Structure 1
Amino acid sequence: MEIMSRKKLKIGVSACLLGIKCRYDGKAKGDPRIYELLKDKVDLIPICPEFNCGLGIPRPPMRLEASPKGTRMKVIETGEDKTEVMRDWINVELKLLERIDIAAFIFKARSPSCGLHGVDLFNKDGRCLGKCGRGLFAAALVQRFPWMTVCEEGDFPEVAEKLVIAVPPGQERK
């Protein structure tokens, strides 16, 4: 007789890392380790902020720009500002993630929406100021849930261990 069932952790993952073709170019950047190691142990919640906020697939590439109004997300070719569209979606999504009690998030590195650290930040003239940006969704999620375990795909094995998920030998960070 089972007295208490253990609820599975819910872990958010940038959808492209799970092999979903949602990147700006219509491709995926799947990391099979993530799905294979987690599929039976947690509930995976795939999220693509750029698609989910209505930017479509494919879509023009975007970048982060520094401005007096803070970091902006703009279409590289036209300069069209997509920041408010993204922020409106983020506000709704963070409330949903809070309700479903998400425990961790695995982000796609270098993404203007999901990059956790080291995202290229540009000035309005297109000059790179350095790898000092953080994607808009990643920044908002970390601010809203400072206690949450977060990482990019390259750091996944360490996070898996932190969540008490065994990482098989040979699957460690390379």
Structure 2
Amino acid sequence: MQIPVGISACVLGERVRFDGGHKLNRFIVDELSKYFTFKPVCPEMGIGMQVPRPVIRLLQLPSDEIRLVESKQQDVDYTDKMVAFAHQKASQFDDLCGYVVCAKSPTCGMERVKLHIPNNNTVPGGSVGIYTRELMSKMPWLPVEEDGRLNDPVLRENFVFRIFALHDLYHSVRDQLSAKSIVKFHSRYKLVLMAHSPSAYKALGSMVAHISEWDLDEFYLEYRLQFMEAIKERASRKNKTNVLMHLQGYFKRSLTKEQKKELSDLIMSYKEGHQPILVPLALIKHYLREYPDPYLQLQTFIDPYPEDLKLRYGL
């Protein structure tokens, strides 16, 4: 099943930039398109701007309000049109499981977009593109990432994982909402939460334990928000080591002394940065095939996404 993901049209290779160019991302086109159906959007084209078109920028007024204006004619203002367009698109994005935006763009950039003041100087730290700012405000649970940051293996893995997780939540919970479906989903993601955010692991566990006290629709919306916020935190090597040791504990009655030591040594080697997490996980998967455990076999942490994406090679 293809997962719907929004994307800045230029990142998908469409020639919609101000100068008629594009910013095609090969990883997205060559690898992610096997699993994701990309929904391209060019906000500038969406509000009626053409190709080629004048360069636009973010302008901070003396009142600290941020406007989207033409670089050479700062009285030509596109802010209101862009905000209205972003709200319109967000209302159509109920099924989206992620969004890839174009870095540095005054409409689509997610962070550190150049922010000018009237004398043409820039504000340290920059800002967020108008379209992306509104999108993230309307859909705070949605995984959003910039094209350039996908070159970082840790950020790439976390972003793609969150897309698969949100799709799983929609497919197994939202589309068949019940207390049972929520409990089953949460059970499968316990080790994931333990790796990403031990505090959220406890908080969400308590929340699920008291699900009978909630209106189910309200619970789902709050759970989605907190769950997606929790897995946005990058799983540390320390937390992942704890999860691996937790997994190891399930085999203590099945393994020989030598097998236990071999697995323990691999986990410590990963902890010290000498091995990728795939190495101890491969042995854990091997033992899980030999000594099946219904609880472990359902844990998303072990197989969070298709193996051929090779996202854990650098972790």
In structure 1, C-alpha distance between the alignment counterparts of 2:122 and 2:111, rounded to whole Å: 15
Q: Give the one of 109, 116, 126 matched to 2:120.
A: 126
In structure 1, C-alpha distance between the alignment counterparts of 2:118 and 2:91, rounded to whole Å: 32
Between Structure 1 and Structure 2, whose CA radius of gyration is higher?
2
Contact 1:122/1:130, CA 8 A, preserved across alignment: no
Give the percent of matched residue pairs that are identical in Structure 1 and Structure 2. 26
- Matched ranges for 1:1-174 at <5 A: 7-67=1-61, 68=63, 70-79=65-74, 80-98=76-94, 101-156=95-150, 157-158=156-157, 159-162=159-162, 163=164, 164=305, 166=307, 167-168=309-310
CA-based RMSD of the aligned residues comes to 2.0
> What is the identity, as a one-letter code, of the residue corresponding to 1:140?
E
Structure 1 residue 32: Cα displacement: 1.3
Contact 1:66/1:122, CA 8 A, preserved across alignment: yes
In structure 2, C-alpha distance between the alignment counterparts of 1:165 and 1:83, rounded to whole Å: 40
TM-score of the two chains, using structure 1 as the length reference:
0.86
In structure 2, C-alpha distance between the alignment counterparts of 1:120 and 1:154, rounded to whole Å: 16
Q: Alpha carbons of 1:143 and 1:83: their partners in 2 closer, same or farther (altered >3 Å)?
A: same
CA-to-partner distance for each residue in 1:50-102, whole Å, 9 max, x for gaps? 1111111111111101122721011001111111121221121111113xx11
SS in 1 for 2:37: strand
SS in 2 for 1:141: helix
> What is the identity, as a one-letter code, of the residue corresponding to 1:88?
A
Which 5+ residue runs of structure 1 have no aligned equivalent?
Answer: 1-6
Which 5+ residue runs of structure 2 have no aligned equivalent?
Answer: 151-155, 165-304
> What is the identity, as a one-letter code, of the residue corresponding to 1:111?
S
Structure with bigger strand share is 1
In structure 2, C-alpha distance between the alignment counterparts of 1:161 and 1:88, rounded to whole Å: 31
Structure with bigger helix share is 2
SS in 2 for 1:11: strand
Structure 1 residue 132: Cα displacement: 2.1
In structure 2, C-alpha distance between the alignment counterparts of 1:52 and 1:95, rounded to whole Å: 15
How many residue pairs match? The answer is 164
